[in-house]
Structure 1
């Protein structure tokens, strides 16, 4: 679920690093450069990139509509293509049986089995359609925080890698009790506290 659909879960990030002087132009160029591209090779299993907020197809980012005031809003698209294990196993067994029949042998060598598995996998992958997933991103540039509409570790890992490559900035999951993010007054108050026994 994304930010535009109602209730959603999200991970909050702190953004660290030096932003270029003409940051909005930099973001525009980078969003377009790292925009989502369709899977090309028959054996490719995954591709990631940016798309317009909530739009699976928008990879052009025309008119910079993703930029509203102090906020940037766009989506991370991850397409995955995979062959179910049971289907792969069935086709491998069929291919092995056919190879044994053609050669007249009861057993195949390890190399032959590996070659059959690879060939079956490539054939099935070429027939499988990729499944797209969208994860919305809302970035408050001035306050240096960002929301990603996902809690899934694999999605967060993909996001963090792409974000760093794209914007040359680090996105760190926000941990509210980290001292450097506390209000200075609250940090001083916490520093004056002493341990007490309640027993």
Structure 2
């Protein structure tokens, strides 16, 4: 699901803050600086970065064009290593049994068990293959609004943090009320905010 094909669901954000005077150069520089970095050969748990719209690999600012008129269009790629909690528990219990037998003790302390769990988790994460996901974004520079296609609350949180880090701008999730107030006069918007729901029979 994305901007280029098929049906799409999206979340709308307001972009709080201003771009510098050399806006286009700044955006191109920041996109390049925060291009997606592969973690297949690393032990990092998470990697987030920009790629060209609908492409898993690389950022080409010209094809498809990332900057078109008043819009910036790109995909946010998120690669994440995950290990199921049940799998971690299985190997923790297995390792714990070996340690108890070797040391001839009845049980591990809470601290020892936590250390063992962290060690097992790190070992399993290093072996796990990162799962890739992409989420298209369309940033309307003129209106200071941004659409995130797909995603959920976790992805929205990742985007908000990454966007702040990348552009030093804050994303604020738009509510239906704020969207409904677009284009209204101040008086109309004020009336809308004080309106209460009504049931029509």
- Which whole-Å CA distance do the structure 1 matches of 2:86 and 2:111 have between them? 22
- Which whole-Å CA distance do the structure 1 matches of 2:42 and 2:32 have between them? 22
- Which whole-Å CA distance do the structure 1 matches of 2:146 and 2:176 have between them? 14
Q: Does 1:36 find its partner at 2:5?
A: no
User: Contact (CA 8 Å) 1:49, 1:76: kept in 2 or not?
Assistant: yes
User: Contact (CA 8 Å) 1:150, 1:156: kept in 2 or not?
Assistant: no
Q: Which runs of 5+ in 1 are unaligned?
A: none
**Deviation per CA, 1:8-63, whole angstroms, max 9, x where unpaired?**
11011222322211111110000011111233752x322211111111111x4343
Q: Does 1:68 find its partner at 2:68?
A: yes
User: Contact (CA 8 Å) 2:52, 2:61: kept in 1 or not?
Assistant: no
Distance 1:14 1:84, change over 3 A: same
Map 1:175-190 onto structure 2 (within 5 A): 175-178=175-178, 181-184=182-185, 187=188, 190=191
**Deviation per CA, 1:147-194, whole angstroms, max 9, x where unpaired?**
110251111111112112212222222234338734228727948x99
- Which whole-Å CA distance do the structure 2 matches of 1:177 and 1:116 have between them? 50
- Which whole-Å CA distance do the structure 1 matches of 2:189 and 2:60 have between them? 45
TM-score, normalization: structure 1?
Answer: 0.84
- Which whole-Å CA distance do the structure 2 matches of 1:137 and 1:188 have between them? 28
Deviation at 1:70, TM superposition (A): 2.3
Output the aligned Cα RMSD. 2.8
Deviation at 1:144, TM superposition (A): 2.1
The count of aligned residue pairs is 194
User: Contact (CA 8 Å) 1:14, 1:174: kept in 2 or not?
Assistant: yes
- Which whole-Å CA distance do the structure 2 matches of 1:194 and 1:149 have between them? 30
Distance 1:15 1:62, change over 3 A: closer
User: Contact (CA 8 Å) 1:14, 1:144: kept in 2 or not?
Assistant: yes
Map 1:1-199 onto structure 2 (within 5 A): 1-39=1-39, 41-42=42-43, 44-58=44-58, 60-63=59-62, 65-178=65-178, 181-184=182-185, 187=188, 190=191
User: Contact (CA 8 Å) 2:28, 2:61: kept in 1 or not?
Assistant: no
TM-score, normalization: structure 2?
Answer: 0.83
The structure that has the greater radius of gyration is: 1
